[in-house]
Amino acid sequence: MKSKFRQIAIIGKYQVTSSASTGASSRQALDKIAHFLMDVGCDVVLEAETAANLGLQNYVTMDVQGIGKSCDLCLVVGGDGTMLGIGRQLAQYGVPLIGINQGRLGFITDIPLGEFEVVLAAMLEGAFEEDQRCLMQAKVMRDADVVFSALAMNDVVVNRGASSGMVELKVSVDGHFVSNQRADGLIISSATGSTAYALSAGGPLLHPSIAGWVMVPIAPHTLSNRPLVLSNSAEITIEVVSGRDASANFDMQSMASLLQGDRIVVTQSQHKVCFLHPQGWSYFDTLRQKMHWNEGAV
């Protein structure tokens, strides 16, 4: 076979190797994938921290920035959380990502680890579906200053404090006042994130091709506060009116503590994440499998 990709990076889920057996399993999996790629003529690069934490030696290593500048493709071996973190970092470089699922759910890491050789062989020859996903750019404003900023692929979540009551949040879209919401929090989710926290809070599923976001209140005091689908070209502003110890979370992987009067401003990022899926991949097949639809159907 002749691969369309010359230099391929591998990034693994080393952060959760809490036991020797888990670490050995991850090390063996990445080593096997690396040897498969070399056998088909690809140059293999391991992300530096992945290699160091798993004890993988004798490979070329690069940091994430180096991978973004040098590699044609990145294989992410882990779960959706691993993919979220790497996707945000590599989005600015346009490097396509393939997810090999070593986690539990796998909405965006869709190749089972046990099937990677057969599936990857076809994808490396060009048999794949390209899937562009939008990112959110979020910043926390305190008076006129930006005190925190982050990208999010899934969601931006404003939460109440662990020991306090509800927060009151003033929501505006493109400068137009929408409502004051008293709730445990508020989720601004992308279509990608609509199968994550937003779904647990009662939000709708959005197909990834829809240029939209969904705004979902968390346990609202007023039951008429319902999820609202918005254009992802909108600017959403959430102001903390009252509530102690509130925080803003970005993909649940970075957090900013909030004060009364702080504003969280969410806009669409200029960057997108490019996923590659096996040829014939369908979002609906993924939903049916992961959501266990039609189980027991005749």
Give residue limits of the domains in the chain: 7-126, 135-270
pLDDT in tens, 123-177: 999 999 999 999 999 999 999 999 999 999 999 999 998 877 899 999 999 999 9
For 186-202, what is the mean pLDDT? 97
For 182-189, what is the mean pLDDT? 97
Per-residue pLDDT, 20: 46
Eight-class DSSP state of 93: G
**CA-CA distance, 20 to 196, in Å (whole number)?**
30
Q: Is the pTM of this model over 0.75?
A: yes
Per-residue pLDDT, 26: 86
pLDDT in tens, 94-119: 999 999 998 777 889 989 999 999 99
Check pLDDT > 70 for residue 259: yes
Q: What is the CATH code for 7-126?
A: 3.40.50.10330
The domain defined by 135-270 folds into Tumour Suppressor Smad4 (2.60.200)
Per-residue pLDDT, 18: 45
Q: Which residue has the higher pLDDT, 25 or 261?
A: 261
Name the residues annotated as catalytic: 80
Q: Are 129 and 279 in contact (CB under 8 A)?
A: yes
Per-residue pLDDT, 162: 81
Phi, psi for residue 142 in degrees, rounded to 5: -120, 105
pLDDT in tens, 263-285: 999 999 999 999 999 999 999 99
CA of 71: how far to CAs of 7, 205, 276, in Å?
A: 5, 33, 15
Per-residue pLDDT, 15: 56
Q: Which amino acid is at 91?
A: A
Q: Are 279 and 130 in contact (CB under 8 A)?
A: no
Q: Are 120 and 77 in contact (CB under 8 A)?
A: no
pLDDT in tens, 26-57: 889 999 999 999 999 999 999 999 999 999 98
Q: Are 191 and 210 in contact (CB under 8 A)?
A: yes
